Amino acid sequence: MSEATRIDGKAFAAKLRERVGALAEAFAETAGRKPGLAVVLVGEDAASQVYVGAKGKATVAANMESFEHRLPADTDEGTLLALVAQLNADEAVDGILVQLPLPGHLNEQAVIGAIDPGKDVDGFHVINAGRLSVGQTGFVPCTPLGCMMLLADRLGDLSGLEAVVIGRSNIVGKPMAQLLLDANATVTIAHSRTKDLPGVVRRADIVVAAVGRPEMVKADWLKPGATVIDVGINRLPPEPGSDKGRLVGDVAFAEASETAAAITPVPGGVGPMTIAVLLRNTLVAAYEHAGLDTPEI
């Protein structure tokens, strides 16, 4: 078996951000304002700080307005809900993202439920989750939608393909499985109670790993020729003499590359797609709020 194709999510995301940026400029000319994205970060988690910074930069680079709200870790729920209400009412804000996870004393479902579903560009509100599950138009979570874009680009029609999603979270695994089902794949959702996970994964033409366990999926779990989408972002402990550990996915990339036909790397795979799709969803929200026809993107 020859070496797998490396699916270049970073390059795909850059192209998507460029298209979104051009459409955002056109939007501003018609609507007289830029699309706006508000990002709310509660607490000082180092990884979250990095992501929020990256989102802000990408937003501005795509000709959109970025509103960042950084709140202390001990912020009470009333204060956070009041901020969400203010952003819901703000006409300059088309999209609202509350960075997860929230500190333990805050109820995530209550906070996400307070976001106007029309501004929920993460697609985490129950209204958008419900719309996805019954086949209505709504905001689709960025990471799974980004994975679908990579799969469609790579494989075209997914009809009849065996897909195994490892992980069943509300933000990745479940919506991912729903999108694959909508694309007529035969979908299996695996999780921590799945028996014989390697055997289940071996059936798959498409494997999506969204677990959060470094390099868990091994080469001998894969059907030769499978397409592998690695959602996992795991920071390994630092090597002696270095202050930061390496970033790895949920798939043992080097060995899996010997068996798979195509695989996304970490970093440079799904992560950049998540941010590009967030901008795409914000653009769509802006067109909707302005009462304009949404361009195909």
Ligand X SMILES: NC(=O)C1=CN([C@@H]2O[C@H](COP(=O)(O)OP(=O)(O)OC[C@H]3O[C@@H](n4cnc5c(N)ncnc54)[C@H](OP(=O)(O)O)[C@@H]3O)[C@@H](O)[C@H]2O)C=CC1
Ligand Y SMILES: Nc1nc(=O)c2c([nH]1)NC[C@@H]1CN(c3ccc(C(=O)N[C@@H](CCC(=O)O)C(=O)O)cc3)C=[N+]21
Tell me which residues touch ligand Y (CB under 6 A): 50-51, 97-100, 122, 142, 233, 247, 266-268, 271-272, 274-275
Name the pairing type of β-strands 247-248 and 234-235.
antiparallel
The residues in 128-157 that bind ligand X, with binding defined as CB under 6 A, are 143
How many degrees, rounded to 5, is the angle at CA 214 between CA 141 and CA 260? Answer: 80
**118 or 175: CB nearest ligand X:** 175
Establish whether 174 is a catalytic residue.
no
Task: Report how far residue 37's alpha carbon sits from residue 23's, in angstroms, rounded to the nearest whole number.
Answer: 15
Annotated binding site: 167-169, 233
Which entry of 34, 94, 120, 122 is annotated as an active-site residue? 122
Instruction: Assess 211 for contact with ligand X (CB under 6 A).
Output: yes
CA 13 to chain CA mean position, Å: 12
Instruction: Assess 171 for contact with ligand X (CB under 6 A).
Output: yes
**37 or 142: CB nearest ligand Y:** 142
Which entry of 55, 94, 230, 250 is annotated as an active-site residue? 55
Given ligand Y, ligand X, none, residue 136, with its beta carbon under 5 to 8 Å by kind, binds none
Given ligand X, ligand Y, none, residue 51, with its beta carbon under 5 to 8 Å by kind, binds ligand Y
Q: What is the closest distance, in whole angstroms, from the C-beta atom of residue 293 to ligand X in the complex?
A: 29
CA distances from 273 to 31, 173, 195 (A): 27, 16, 31
Q: What residue is closest to ligand X based on CB?
A: 169
| Neighbour-count burial of 285, counting CB atoms closer than 10 A to its CB (0-12 exposed, 13-18 middle, 19+ buried) | buried
Name the pairing type of β-strands 95-98 and 162-166.
unpaired
Q: Could you count the other beta carbons within 10 Å of the beta carbon of residue 157?
A: 10
CA 293 to chain CA mean position, Å: 25
Instruction: Assess 282 for contact with ligand X (CB under 6 A).
Output: no
Q: Do 251 and 228 touch, CB atoms closer than 8 A?
A: yes
Exactly one of 185, 231, 251, 263 binds ligand X (CB under 6 A); that residue is 231
Exactly one of 169, 186, 188, 294 binds ligand X (CB under 6 A); that residue is 169
Establish whether 136 is a catalytic residue.
no
Establish whether 157 is a catalytic residue.
no
Helix (H, G, I), strand (E, B) or coil at 19: helix
**27 or 37: CB nearest ligand X:** 37
Given ligand X, ligand Y, none, residue 272, with its beta carbon under 5 to 8 Å by kind, binds ligand Y
Helix (H, G, I), strand (E, B) or coil at 44: coil
**48 or 294: CB nearest ligand X:** 48
Given ligand X, ligand Y, none, residue 59, with its beta carbon under 5 to 8 Å by kind, binds none
Helix (H, G, I), strand (E, B) or coil at 110: helix
Helix (H, G, I), strand (E, B) or coil at 262: strand
Task: Report how far residue 122's alpha carbon sits from residue 175's, in angstroms, rounded to the nearest whole number.
Answer: 12
| Neighbour-count burial of 30, counting CB atoms closer than 10 A to its CB (0-12 exposed, 13-18 middle, 19+ buried) | exposed
The residues in 232-261 that bind ligand X, with binding defined as CB under 6 A, are 232-234
Annotated binding site for NADP(+): 167-169, 233
Catalytic residues, by residue number, are 55, 99, 122
In the complex, which residues of this chain contact ligand X (CB under 6 A)? Answer: 143, 166-169, 171-173, 190-194, 197, 210-213, 231-234, 270-271, 274
